[in-house]
Amino acid sequence: MASTQQMLTMYRKMLLARRFEEKAGQAYGLKKIQGFCHLYIGQEAVVVGVNEALRESDWVMTGYRDHVHPLVRGADAGMLMAELYGRDGGYSKGKGGSMHFFDIEHGFYGGYGIVGGQIPLAAGMAFASKYRNEDRVTVCSFGDAAANQGAMHETFNMAVKWKLPVLYIVEQNKYGMGTDIARVSSVPDIHKRAPGWDMRGEAVDGMDVMAVYEKAKELVEWIRAGNGPVLLEAYTYRFRGHSMSDAATYRTKDEVEQEKQRDPILKLRKQLLDKKAATEAELDAIDDEEKAVVEKALAFADASPLPPDSDIWTHGLVEEGEADVKPRERVLGATDVKWPAFPTDFKVTWDLEPKGPPATPSTAKKGAA
Domains in the chain (CATH in brackets) are: 4-368 (3.40.50.970)
The whole-number pLDDT of residue 213 equals 98
Q: What is the pLDDT of residues 95-147, one digit of tens each?
A: 999 999 999 999 999 999 999 999 999 999 999 999 999 999 999 999 999 99
Q: How far is CA 264 from CA 16, 70, 151, in A?
A: 13, 19, 32
Please check the confidence at residue 362 and state whether its pLDDT lies above 80.
no
Task: Using pLDDT thresholds of 50, 70 and 90, give the confidence band for residue 214.
Answer: very high
> Which residue in 104, 228, 109 sits closest to 159, CA to CA?
228
The whole-number pLDDT of residue 146 equals 93
Q: What is the pLDDT of residues 35-58, one digit of tens each?
A: 999 999 999 999 999 999 999 999
- Of 195-209, 278-292, 341-355, the least confident: 341-355
> Which residue in 191, 207, 327 sits closest to 266, CA to CA?
207
Query: What's the rounded Cα separation, in Å, for the pair 226 and 255?
Result: 42
Decide if 61 contacts 110 (C-beta within 8 A): yes
The whole-number pLDDT of residue 165 equals 98
Query: What's the rounded Cα separation, in Å, for the pair 90 and 88?
Result: 5
Identify each DSSP E strand in 244-283 by its residue range. none
Task: Using pLDDT thresholds of 50, 70 and 90, give the confidence band for residue 366.
Answer: low
> Which residue in 150, 203, 146 sits closest to 179, CA to CA?
146
Task: Using pLDDT thresholds of 50, 70 and 90, give the confidence band for residue 178.
Answer: confident
The overall average pLDDT reported for the chain is 93
- DSSP state for residue 50 in the 8-state scheme: H
Query: 138 — phi, psi (to 5°)?
Result: -100, 135
Q: What is the pLDDT of residues 8-29, one digit of tens each?
A: 999 999 999 999 999 999 999 9
Query: What's the rounded Cα separation, in Å, for the pair 3 and 26?
Result: 35
The whole-number pLDDT of residue 363 equals 59
Query: What's the rounded Cα separation, in Å, for the pair 177 and 229?
Result: 27
In sequence order, the 6+-apart residues with CB closer than 8 A to the CB of 238 are 39, 40, 41, 42, 43, 65, 173, 175
The whole-number pLDDT of residue 348 equals 83
Model-wide pTM > 0.75 = yes
Task: Using pLDDT thresholds of 50, 70 and 90, give the confidence band for residue 369.
Answer: very low
> Which residue in 167, 185, 163 sits closest to 176, CA to CA?
185
Q: How many CB atoms lie within 10 A of CB 183?
A: 9
Q: What is the pLDDT of residues 223-255, one digit of tens each?
A: 999 999 999 999 999 999 889 988 888 999 999
The whole-number pLDDT of residue 345 equals 85
Distance between alpha carbon 72 and the CA centroid of its chain, in Å?
A: 10
Q: What is the pLDDT of residues 312-335, one digit of tens each?
A: 888 888 888 888 889 999 999 999
Number of residues in the chain: 369
The whole-number pLDDT of residue 2 equals 86
Identify each DSSP E strand in the chain by its residue range. 59-62, 108-111, 138-143, 166-172, 175-176, 179-180, 200-205, 230-235
Q: How far is CA 21 from CA 27, 176, 294, in A?
A: 10, 20, 9
